[in-house]
């Protein structure tokens, strides 16, 4: 009240903000006084004096203790780790960036900067300051180390070694690995082996096939039987490619045919491929001649034929350039099939004559005797190619005077062979001259 005479308390007046600081707040987080900073510096100086006094006392007593390292804060460095950023004077912030405020990065967890190992060969050299390219690298030594640690015995690999032990389950062979290779009893060879000690005495050098790679103990599984089977299949395939006939022993029979043994492999001969298929059971234990119909190592399929063996035997009596005689047994659109005594040859229509004709029956009919020259032999496929045009004098003589050509076939065939031999010699000489020029 105005008239009561009671004096009102003095209320603090609101501070008048200047216009230029209306949108700016003071950095209270960075405010400190110079008095606090001076206190921190005094404390660090006292710590230095105390440490130096302790060192002096230790030296006087004869203790060879190293002086403890004390990080002395710089009076000029406002960013010392002991000084909190909050304690900085706001007056010193002019011209400082955010990177300056944060200070140097902490490198305590950087393995590259902390790697200060000394080299044993060069003690004065700091390895932490060297790059990877500065270190010596011997590629040959590195590859040699890899070869030493490379596991021996990959699946399908052939290895050689000596027998070092035998037990009831199999044989142990030293093949140069961390541990010896183990060969189970049923993998020791083809057929049944009754006495392993006689078959595999200690020190015997054997060649085996790795069938299973190293286990946890470094041991591999090996086999003599698998290697023998692989070699047998390779032998059989070579025989097939040559079109050869082989001798086999009949070991058993079933309703479809008979089984036989060849190079340790089990083969099969169908009844239709036997000369006496009606009584095939009587062939058990006998040896017969057979030729190959199918050889497939992947499916382990080996099929042979006794009838084809007779054809192969005939092929062994024939050669290219030979004059043969046979009977026309069939006439097809592409030529004549001529029976040469158990095997058939093909006289293609393009090599019957050098002249022109409208029908094959104008030259030969079924049942006619034909003399022709062999120009191709393929025992594996059972193919024989014949040619009568080579026996002609003038083109078309086979049509106009076939009887004369057949009568003089022997003399004309000899001339053809001589001409072929001369051409072969000339070709060889030409090849040799070309090789000399190249050399």
* Mean per-residue pLDDT pooled into runs of 10, the chain (439 residues): 48 50 48 56 67 54 46 48 49 58 55 47 50 57 55 70 86 80 83 79 86 75 85 90 87 91 90 86 90 90 90 84 92 92 89 90 92 87 89 90 91 88 83 81
The pLDDT value recorded for residue 419 is 85
Q: How many residues does the chain have?
A: 439
In this predicted structure, what is the pLDDT of residue 141? 66
- pLDDT value at residue 115: 43
pLDDT at 14 (0 to 100): 52
pLDDT of residue 66: 46
Q: How many whole angstroms separate alpha carbon 287 and alpha carbon 247?
A: 6
Residue ranges covered by each domain of the chain? 152-224, 243-306, 318-422
**pLDDT value of residue 98:** 60
- What local confidence, expressed as pLDDT, does residue 31 receive? 46
Identical fold between 152-224 and 243-306: yes
- In this predicted structure, what is the pLDDT of residue 426? 84
CATH code given to domain 152-224: 2.40.50.140
**What would the 3-class secondary structure string for the chain be?**
CCCCCCCCCCCCCCCCCCHHHCCCCCCHHHCCCHHHHHHHHHHHHHHHHHHHHHHHHHHHCCCCCCCCCCCCCCCCCCCCCCCCHHHCCHHHCCCCCHHHHHCCCCCCCCHHHHCCCECCCCCCCEHHHCCHHHCCCCHHHHHHHHHHHCCCCCCCCEEEEEEEEECCCEEEEECCCCCCEEEEHHHCCCCCCCCHHHHCCCCCEEEEEEEECCCCCCCCEEEHHHHHHHHHHHHHHHHHHHCCCEEEEEEEECCCEEEEEECCEEEEEEHHHCCCHHHHHHHCCCEEEEEEEEEECCCCEEEEEHHHHHHHHHHCCCCCCCEEEEEEEEEECCEEEEECCCCEEEEEHHHCCCCCCCCHHHCCCCCCEEEEEEEEEECCCCEEEEECHHHCCCCCHHHHCHHHHHHCHHHHHHHHHHHHHHHHHHHHHHHHHHHHHHC
CATH of domain 318-422: 2.40.50.140
Q: Which CATH number fits domain 243-306: 2.40.50.140, 1.20.272.10, 3.30.479.30, 1.10.3720.10?
A: 2.40.50.140
The reply to whether the predicted model has a pTM over 0.75 is no
Q: What is the pLDDT of residue 389?
A: 92
Residue 144 is predicted with a pLDDT of 61
Given this model, what pLDDT does residue 317 score?
85
Q: Are 177 and 130 in contact (CB under 8 A)?
A: no
Measure the CA–CA gap between 181 and 172, rounded to whole angstroms: 6
Do the beta carbons of residue 112 and residue 69 sit within 8 Å?
no
Do 333 and 324 touch, CB atoms closer than 8 A? Answer: no
């Amino acid at each position: 009240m105005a008239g009561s005479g009671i004096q009102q308390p003095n209320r603090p007046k609101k501070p008048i903000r200047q216009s230029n600081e209306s949108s700016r707040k003071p950095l209270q987080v960075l405010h400190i006084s110079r008095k606090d900073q001076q206190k921190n510096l005094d404390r660090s100086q006292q710590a230095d004096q105390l440490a130096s006094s302790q060192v002096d006392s230790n030296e006087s007593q004869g203790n060879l203790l190293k002086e403890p390292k004390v990080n002395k804060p710089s009076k000029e460095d406002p960013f010392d780790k002991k000084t909190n950023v909050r304690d900085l004077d706001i007056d010193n912030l002019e011209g400082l960036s955010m990177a300056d405020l944060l200070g140097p990065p902490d490198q305590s967890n950087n393995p590259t900067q902390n790697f200060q190992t000394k080299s044993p060969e060069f003690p004065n050299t700091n390895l932490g300051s060297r790059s990877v390219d500065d270190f010596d690298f011997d590629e040959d030594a590195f590859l040699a180390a890899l070869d030493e640690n490379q596991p021996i015995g990959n699946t399908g690999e052939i290895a050689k070694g000596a027998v070092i032990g035998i037990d009831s389950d199999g044989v142990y062979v030293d093949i140069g690995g961390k541990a010896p290779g183990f060969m189970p009893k049923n993998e020791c060879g083809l057929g049944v082996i009754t006495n392993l000690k006689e078959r595999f005495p200690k020190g015997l050098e054997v060649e085996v096939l790795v069938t299973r790679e190293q286990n946890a103990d470094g041991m591999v599984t090996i086999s003599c039987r698998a290697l023998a089977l692989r070699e047998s299949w390779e032998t059989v395939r070579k025989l097939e490619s040559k079109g050869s006939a082989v001798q086999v022993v009949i070991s058993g029979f079933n309703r479809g045919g008979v089984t036989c043994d060849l190079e340790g492999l089990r083969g099969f001969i169908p009844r239709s491929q036997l000369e006496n298929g009606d009584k095939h059971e009587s062939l058990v234990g006998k040896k017969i001649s057979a030729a190959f119909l199918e050889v497939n190592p992947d499916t382990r399929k080996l099929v042979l034929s006794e009838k084809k063996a007779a054809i192969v035997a005939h092929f062994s009596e024939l050669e290219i350039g030979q004059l043969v005689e046979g009977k026309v047994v069939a006439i097809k659109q592409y030529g004549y099939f001529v029976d040469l005594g158990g095997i058939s040859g093909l006289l293609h229509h393009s090599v019957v004559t050098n002249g022109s004709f409208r029908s094959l029956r104008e030259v030969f009919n079924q049942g006619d005797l034909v003399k022709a020259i062999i120009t191709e032999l393929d025992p594996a496929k059972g193919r024989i190619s014949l040619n009568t045009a080579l026996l002609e004098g003038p083109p078309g003589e086979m049509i106009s005077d076939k009887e004369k050509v057949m009568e003089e076939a022997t003399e004309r065939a000899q001339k053809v062979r001589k001409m072929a031999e001369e051409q072969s010699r000339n070709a060889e000489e030409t090849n040799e001259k070309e090789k000399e020029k190249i050399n």
